[in-house]
Amino acid sequence: MTLAVVGHVEWVDFVVAPRLPATGEILQASSAHEAAAGGGAMAAYAMRSLTGACTFFCAVGEDHRAAWTVRGLEAAGLEVRAAVHAGRTQRRTITHLTDDGERTITVLGPPLEPRSEDDLPWDALAPCDGALVVTGDAGAIRAARAARVLVSTPRARAALLEAGVAVDALVGSATDPHETIDDALRSATRPRYVVETEGAQGGRWRAADGRCGRWEATSPPSDPVDAFGCGDAFAAALTAGLASGRSIEEACALGARVGAAVLCERAPAVGDLSRWS
């Protein structure tokens, strides 16, 4: 099975601390580390871990952190197709990972997303069994539509509205206002399935033919660590499940298992997800 992710990657400084500092407080961190991460990258990491391979279409800047980013993605086993945006510095984030399992993110710099005019092998998406679009422009989404199964997140809302292509599944969050699936998106993308996660309550799906259902959250296989990348991993697993011919019920259950497993890893690690397939 050939799978791809189209989306963004950032250089992330992770700060592990018991809690967020209060205003004016100096708080000692438990530890810190840095790595290539962000929504697109986390989905690609999960896809590769779950299925054994993933091609990641992304964009990076033109500085030393951009070089670190590409090397980090490749070291994780991804087939990286990265466009270099001349004159841009690599987008960074500072992410606090706290004892309550949350992640709190500060973004440094404007978005860096793959664009259709980038010198990337967009035609390589056509033979793919499945593609997940996390972010990208309208042309990138149209290129991804050549895959047999196309899944997208509402993060690419403006581009989805402009692209006007049908998707097999639109996956978002029922609790995160940044990942809301509204009527305009449904109308523009004509999804076979609308999938909305609800965190610890599981989630719900609705098919274009009127069928609907829910899935229950999967219990984490060990102690939860942090929630960074759990939703992205769910979307990656859903894509892989649909691309492999699983039903929507089976694909959502797979996503729930994978999301729960990622919850137990210190970001940006995702662990060995193949055992949950």
Nearest to 75 by CA among 56, 59, 94, 96: 56
How far is Cα 81 from Cα 130, in angstroms, rounded to an integer?
Answer: 16
- Write the pLDDT tens digit of every residue in 94-143: 999 999 989 999 999 999 999 999 999 999 999 999 999 999 999 999 99
> What percent of the chain is helix, strand and coil (3-state, nearest 5)?
35, 25, 40
The single residue listed with the structure tokens 């990491």 is: 45
Beta bridge partners of 15: 32, 96
Which range has the worst mean pLDDT, 43-47, 133-137, 179-183?
A: 179-183
Domain spans, the chain: 3-20+30-269
What share of the chain has pLDDT > 70, as a percent?
100
Which range has the worst mean pLDDT, 32-46, 49-63, 172-186?
A: 172-186
Q: Is the pLDDT of residue 199 over 90?
A: no
How far is Cα 156 from Cα 161, in angstroms, rounded to an integer?
Answer: 9
- Write the pLDDT tens digit of every residue in 210-243: 999 999 999 999 999 999 999 999 999 999 999 9
Nearest to 101 by CA among 227, 271, 189: 227
How far is Cα 69 from Cα 10, in angstroms, rounded to an integer?
Answer: 7
- Write the pLDDT tens digit of every residue in 13-33: 999 999 999 999 999 999 999
- Is 134 in contact with 40 (CB distance < 8 Å)? yes
Helices and strands counted in the chain (H then E)? 7, 13
Query: Could you name the CATH architecture of 3-20+30-269?
Result: 3-Layer(aba) Sandwich (3.40)
What share of the chain has pLDDT > 90, as a percent?
96
Q: Is 192 helix (H, G, I), strand (E, B) or coil?
A: coil
How far is Cα 236 from Cα 134, in angstroms, rounded to an integer?
Answer: 10
Q: Under 8 Å CB-to-CB from 126, ≥6 apart: which residues?
A: 146, 147
For 80, other C-beta atoms within 10 Å of its C-beta total 22
Q: What is the pTM of this model?
A: 0.96
Q: For residue 89, what pLDDT band results from cuts at 50, 70 and 90?
A: very high
Average pLDDT over residues 164-181: 92
